[in-house]
Structures are given as structure tokens and as C-alpha cells.
A = this chain, B = another copy of it.
Amino acid sequence: MDKHSKHLPADERRAVTVAAVIELSGSQNPSEITTAAIAQHMRVTQGALFRHFPNKEAIWQAVMAWVAERLLNRIDRVGQGLDSALAVLEAMFMAHVEFVVEHPGVPRMMFGELQRAEPTPAKRMVQTLIQRYGDRLRVVIDKGKTSGELSAALDADAAATLFIGTVQGLVMQSLLAGDVERMRRDAPGVFAIYRRGIGSTR
């Protein structure tokens, strides 16, 4: 009966807080999310938040840690058991898009965090997330090059940059249209061009 469970153990409360921030950032500018708004969304007074987090920055850090773990896990799992590098890249791409559709606030938070001037813990977390993401991409791309599936002349760094940029472009379009579902619809066509750009000559 968690009907009126106003009291939650600390770790659960922290998890609920992270979920609240992720939900809120789907419908409003992440940089404008106040601690009061977070508290209201999880039906708790604002002061209660600071029983579980030393400050607001720590909340962001926890949110970014959640994102990093879930996103990397997802793109790791989805490529397992696939031989073709192109198939792996496509699966990663679609998994990434699906993740963003489920949590539309995530790319906004990440981009917002990246452009902070001061190197906050949350910012560093985003940086390592994207670097790890890039590492995984380069491994797959290199595999595809040696197997002959991808163009031998391909610049792996550029291909990784473009991969992430491709998702970013879809995000921007969805922000423009105010319609997240659009990403799912447009993803195949956009990836088709990318695939053609990196594949070996047919």
C-alpha cells in the first residue's frame, strides 16, 4: 500500500527526485526548473529536497548519472549478437532515438549542461558520457572498416561526430515542431543517408 506513503527511504526519495526532474525537463526549459517546481511535482515541500541532496547541483549530478547509466546500457545491449557493423550502428541509432522520445528532456538537459562556463560535476558527467558514447561508436566503425562493410577511407572520428549530430538534428526538428513523436518517424530516412555516407561502395 504505497497509497499515502509520504515517508520514503532516502534512496527511493532520491530516485523519485531524479524522475521528477526528467519529467519536468520534458515540458519546460531545464535551466528554469526550480527546486520549488521539483518539490511540487513530487508532492513534497521544497525544503524536504535538501534532506537528500546537499544542494541543487547534486540533484543535477544525480540526474545526469541516471541518464548516463541508462543510455549507455541501452545502446550496449542493443548491439549484442549482431555481426554486421551497419546493423549495430542502426540498432544503436534507433535505441538512442527511442530513449530520447521516452525522455525528451534529456538532450535539452545535456546540451544545457554542456554550455555552462564553470566545469560543474554534472557537466563533467555529460562530457564523459559523450566521450564513452563516442568510444563505443569508434569501435564499431573500426570493426566495420576492417570487415569491408564500411568504406576503408572513412574518417572514424568524423563518422562518430556525425552520428551524434544526426540525433541532435532530429532533436532540433522535434523542438521546432513541438512534436517528439516526429523523431521516431523521421529517424529511418535520416539514418539511411548516414548509412549511405559511411558504407563501402555498393
| Minimum CB–CB distance for A170 against chain B, Å | 7
Residue A114 is within 8 A (CB to CB) of chain B in the complex: yes
Q: Does A140 touch B at the CB level, under 8 Å?
A: no
Please determine whether B172 and A130 come into contact, CB atoms closer than 8 angstroms. Answer: yes
Is chain A's interface secondary structure helix, strand, loop, or mixed overall? helix
| Inter-chain contacts of A164 with B (CB < 8 A) | 169, 172-173
Segment at the B interface, from A14-22, A75-83, A154-162: A154-162
Known contacts A130-B172, A201-B202, A117 near B162 by CB under 8 Å: no
Question: A94 an interface residue at 8 Å Cβ cutoff?
Answer: no
Contact indicator A172/B111 (Cβ below 8 Å):
yes
A145 contacts chain B at the CB level, 8 A cutoff: no
Tell me the residues in window 146-199 of chain A with beta carbons closer than 8 Å to chain B beta carbons: 151, 154-155, 157-159, 161-170, 172-173, 175-176, 186, 189-190, 192-198
15 contacts between A and B (CB under 8 A): A30-B115, A112-B115, A127-B176, A155-B189, A155-B192, A155-B193, A157-B186, A157-B189, A161-B169, A165-B168, A165-B170, A166-B166, A194-B197, A196-B197, A197-B197
Q: Count chain A residues whose beta carbon lies closer than 8 angstroms to a beta carbon of B.
A: 48
Q: Which 6 A-B pairs have the closest CB atoms?
A: A165-B169, A197-B197, A158-B189, A193-B197, A168-B168, A155-B189
